[in-house]
Amino acid sequence: MEVERVQAIASLSLTTDNIPAEFIRPEKEQPAITTFRGPVPEVPTIDLSDPDQENLVRSIANASKEWGIFQVVNHGVPTDVITKLQAVGKEFFELSPEEKEVYAKIPGSQSIEGYGTQLQKDIDGKKPWVDHLFHKIWPPSTINYRFWPKNPPSYRDANEVYAKYIREVADKLFTSLSLGLGVKGHALKEGVGGEDIVYMLKINYYPPCPRPELALGVVAHTDLSSLTILVPNEVPGLQVLKDDHWIDAKYIPNALIVHIGDQIEILSNGIYRSVLHRSTVDKGKARMSWPVFLEPPAEFVVGPLPQLVNEENPPKYKAKKFKDYAYCKLNKLPQ
**Is the CA virtual torsion 285, 293, 187, 78 positive or negative?**
negative
How far apart, in whole angstroms, are the C-alpha atoms of residue 26 and residue 184?
46
Q: How far is the CB of 277 from Fe ion (least distance, A)?
A: 6
How far apart, in whole angstroms, are the C-alpha atoms of residue 169 and residue 182?
20
- Shorter beta-carbon distance to ligand AKG: residue 201 or 305: 201
Pairing of strands 45-47, 69-73: parallel
Which among ligand AKG, Fe ion, none contacts residue 238 (Cβ within 5 to 8 A by kind)? ligand AKG
Pairing of strands 245-248, 320-321: unpaired
Binding site for ligand AKG (CB under 6 A): 202, 204, 218, 223, 230, 232, 237-238, 277, 279, 289, 291
In the chain the first and final C-alpha atoms are separated, in Å, by: 33
How far apart, in whole angstroms, are the C-alpha atoms of residue 260 and residue 67?
9
Look up residue 78 and give its DSSP letter. Answer: -
Q: How far is the CB of 222 from Fe ion (least distance, A)?
A: 7
Which among Fe ion, ligand AKG, none contacts residue 279 (Cβ within 5 to 8 A by kind)? ligand AKG
282: CB partners within 8 A, 6+ apart: 206, 208, 209, 212, 235, 237
Q: How far is the CB of 151 from Fe ion (least distance, A)?
A: 27
Q: How far is the CB of 220 from Fe ion (least distance, A)?
A: 10
Of 223, 242, 262, 320, which is the active-site residue? 223
- The count of residues interacting with Fe ion (CB under 5 A) is 1
Which among ligand AKG, Fe ion, none contacts residue 274 (Cβ within 5 to 8 A by kind)? none
In the residue annotation, 221 being an active-site residue is answered as: yes
Nearest to 322 by CA among 312, 330, 314, 332: 330
Which among Fe ion, ligand AKG, none contacts residue 202 (Cβ within 5 to 8 A by kind)? ligand AKG
Q: In the window 23-52, what residues touch Fe ion (CB under 5 A)? A: none
Q: How far is the CB of 129 from Fe ion (least distance, A)?
A: 15
223 contacts Fe ion (rule: CB under 5 A)? yes
Of 100, 189, 277, 320, which is the active-site residue? 277
CB atoms within 10 A of CB 208: 19
Which residues contact Fe ion (rule: CB under 5 A)?
223
Known catalytic residues are: 202, 221, 223, 277
